[in-house]
Chains A and B, each alone.
Chain A
Amino acid sequence: MSAPFVLPASSNPTPLAVQIRGARLAFGGVPLFSDLDFDLEAGRWTCLLGPSGIGKSTLLRLIAGLTQTEGGIISAGDGAGLEGRIAWMAQDDLLLPWLDVLGNVTLGARLRQGRAAPALTELAQILLHRVGLGHRTHDRPATLSGGERQRAALVRTLIEDRPIVLMDEPFSALDAITRWRLQAEAASLLRGRTVLLVTHDPREALRLGHRIFIMSGTPACLGRAPCPRGEPLQRPDDESFRQIEAALLGRLVAADSEQRPGDGGP
């Protein structure tokens, strides 16, 4: 993999941790979280697995400020709030159909300052080139393939230049090969940032995560799962890796059976 990428115009933000203490949230009278504690380590990838509907995306939305807690504190490692310090990437690329690729990746600047500065546009072009979209800067999203659209969304996330990046199943709609490539690109481009990756794919977590958590139960609890040796993207495919993978799969199946009793199980 290539060297860690540093944004030319960036302040090179210092890694920032995230702390969640005593978060509470209920949906329709059913408690989703009660007194939930969770930490994201500064500058590391934290992967979150678990049955669908358990609240993984909701936890991510709480950190993003898109859903309000009914109690508890969510703050950055320096004690300040998270406002303006996160970038968000969803499963849906959320590209605006009326803007070209360049307009889409510089959307944040347009929304905040009304326009994208020339330096930012230049940076956007460099980044688009790097993810293989250099020749598509003036094309509209409708003409792009699924992989290209998600690459554009990745560049838009990166251009925001935030210390914390929240990713909600960003690769799950892609075909296997494109997903494999995009995982590597994302890991390399987002190196040094604090990343929370919500995923339903255990192999994705094993490939990208510094730490892996499994969410289960009602109200939801977070359990730490073992992570294979080595740095993300460089893990040896050995016996210990396969043991960890098998153990992780077993725990996920158990969590899923607990979530849906009567739905079979092993």
Chain B
Amino acid sequence: MIGRAFVTFAGLIAAWQVLVWATALPIYMLPSPVQTAAALVGRYDIILWHGGVTALEIVLGLTFGTIIGGASALLLLSFRPARRWLLPMLLVSQAIPVFAIAPLLVLWLGYGLASKVAMATLVIFFPVAATFYDGLRRTHPGWLDLARTMQASPWATLRHIRLPAALPALASGLRVAAGVAPIGAVIGEWVGSSAGLGYLMLQANARLQTDLMFAALFVLALIGVGLYFAVDAGLRRLLPWLPDTLPATDME
């Protein structure tokens, strides 16, 4: 895995360098890989600090989004009125672009962490709720029949059969959520903030410190990829029984 990742990475850097040579653009338009690396090393303290803030927002958003999304799916499953009233609301919530409500959230929750966490939570909530609810309602009917002949209470059926059976669907939702989580946090930072990689990128852009902006972008991508692999590895450990017709080593 390390070897292949290195080859891909080196190839991309080389293409980037060739582009810089070919276009001969000034550093404030397109910095070279070396200049970006220099910015990364030279300004590592502020990049680390802002990167930490963004990572914290993403992780908190992922946590809250998963909890609220999971609870909503259970609510939808358990109560018919919840299905009739909450499901349309869930869909409408996705029809409103997050960009549109980002200024409102900043207005209500302030420039600090809270508005960004709320934004990330909103982005993550839907894939988690939708996939988990889907998994919960598609339990193999034979398993439910078996539970009935065993006098299982509705709670025991949920805990021992419906819930574990829905975990693969939830896992798909969590993988999607891990992919979109950084978007929520960075949008929040762009609209109004005093810290975070989105804030750093806006500041750097305004001052034509394009090398610093590229460095921040690189770290943001690193956080996104790292998060996806962490979630994927965690899910594989939690659900070892899940059939996977493609071996895990293909991605490594």
Q: In the assembled complex, which residues on chain A have CB atoms less than 8 Å from the CB atom of B149?
A: 64-66, 86-88
Q: Which 7 A-B pairs have the closest CB atoms?
A: A111-B152, A88-B149, A108-B150, A98-B241, A111-B156, A94-B142, A98-B164
| Docked pose: A65 CA to B140 CA in angstroms | 18
B interface, CB within 8 angstroms of A:
140, 142-143, 145-153, 156-157, 160-161, 164-165, 167, 239, 241-243
Query: What is the interface of chain A, defined by CB distance below 8 A to chain B?
Result: 64-66, 83-84, 86-88, 90, 92, 94, 96-98, 107-108, 110-112, 114, 140, 142, 160
Instruction: Specify which of A65, A97, A112 is in contact with B241 (CB 8 Å cutoff).
Output: A97
CB distance from B145 to the nearest CB of A (A): 5
**B153, B161, B239, B241: residue with the most chain A Cβ atoms closer than 10 Å:** B241
A113 to chain B, nearest CB (A): 9
Nearest-CB residue, chain A, relative to B156: A111
CA distance A81 to B227 in the complex (A): 55
- Of B142, B150, B161, B167, which is within 8 A of A112 by CB? B150
CB-nearest residue of chain B to A166: B149
Distance of B198 from chain A, by nearest CB (Å): 40
User: With A96-B164, A98-B241 in contact, do A112 and B151 touch (Cβ < 8 Å)?
Assistant: yes
Shortest CB distance B163–A (Å): 10
State the Cβ distance, A92 to closest chain B Cβ, in Å. 5
Looking at the assembled complex, report how far the CB atom of B63 sits from the nearest CB atom of chain A, in whole angstroms. Answer: 24
Residues of B within 8 A of A98 (CB): 164, 167, 239, 241
20 A-B residue pairs with Cβ-Cβ distance under 8 Å, sorted by A, are A64-B145, A66-B145, A84-B151, A87-B149, A90-B145, A92-B142, A94-B142, A96-B161, A97-B242, A98-B164, A107-B150, A108-B150, A110-B156, A111-B147, A111-B150, A111-B157, A111-B161, A112-B151, A112-B152, A112-B156
Q: Are A140 and B156 in contact (CB under 8 A)?
A: no
Known: A96-B161, A112-B151, A140-B241. A88 touches B146 (CB 8 A): yes
The answer to whether B148 touches A66 (Cβ under 8 A) is: yes
Least distance between B60 CB and chain A CB atoms (Å)? 30
Choose one: B142, B143, B160, B239; the contact of A110 (CB below 8 Å): B160
Residues of B within 8 A of A64 (CB): 145, 149
The residue in chain B whose Cβ has the minimal distance to the Cβ of A64 is B149
**A64 CA to B150 CA in the complex, in Å?**
10
Q: Specify the chain A residue showing the minimal Cβ separation from B146.
A: A94
Which listed residue (B156, B167, B242, B243) contacts A114, Cβ 8 A? Answer: B156
Taking CB atoms, residues of chain B closer than 8 Å to A86 are 149
> Shortest CB–CB separation between residue B151 and chain A, in angstroms?
6
Asked whether, in the complex, the Cβ of B145 is within 8 Å of the Cβ of A142, the reply is no
How far does the Cβ of B118 sit from chain A's closest Cβ, in whole Å? 34
Complex CA–CA separation, A88 to B144 (angstroms): 12
A-chain residues with CB within 8 Å of residue B142 when the two chains form the complex: 90, 92, 94
A111-B145 CB under 8 A given contacts A96-B164, A98-B164, A142-B241: no
Name the A residues within 8 Å of B152 (CB-CB).
111-112
A160 in contact with B150 given A107-B160, A111-B160, A140-B241 (CB within 8 Å): yes
Whose C-beta in chain A lies nearest to the C-beta of B150? A108
Cα-based distance from A255 to B164 in the complex (angstroms): 44
Task: Give complex CA distance A114, B142 in Å.
Answer: 20
Closest A residue to B140 by beta carbon equals A94
Query: Using Cβ atoms and an 8 Å threshold, which residues of chain A touch B161?
Result: 96, 111
CA gap between A64 and B149 in the complex, in Å? 7
Residues in A neighbouring B243, C-beta threshold 8 A: 97, 142
Q: Which chain B positions have C-beta within 8 A of A83?
A: 151
New contact pairs (17) apart from A92-B142, A94-B140, A94-B142, CB-CB < 8 Å: A64-B145, A65-B148, A66-B145, A83-B151, A88-B145, A88-B149, A90-B145, A94-B143, A98-B239, A98-B241, A110-B156, A111-B157, A111-B161, A112-B150, A112-B156, A140-B241, A142-B243
**For residue A88, which residue of chain B has the nearest CB?**
B149
CA distance A83 to B149 in the complex (A): 8
Q: Cβ of B153: which chain A residues have Cβ within 8 Å of it?
A: 111
Contacts of B143 in A (CB 8 A): 94, 96
Task: Give chain B nearest CB distance to A265 CB in angstroms.
Answer: 34
B-chain residues with CB within 8 Å of residue A97 when the two chains form the complex? 241-243
Query: How far is B111's CA from A187's CA once the two chains are assembled, in angstroms?
Result: 73
A residues less than 8 Å from B241 (CB atoms): 97-98, 140, 142
Residues of B within 8 Å of A107, CB to CB, are 146, 150, 160
- Determine the chain A residues whose CB is within 8 A of the CB of B164 once the complex forms: 96, 98
B71 to chain A: closest CB distance in Å?
22
For residue A87, give the distance in angstroms from its CB to the closest CB of chain B: 7
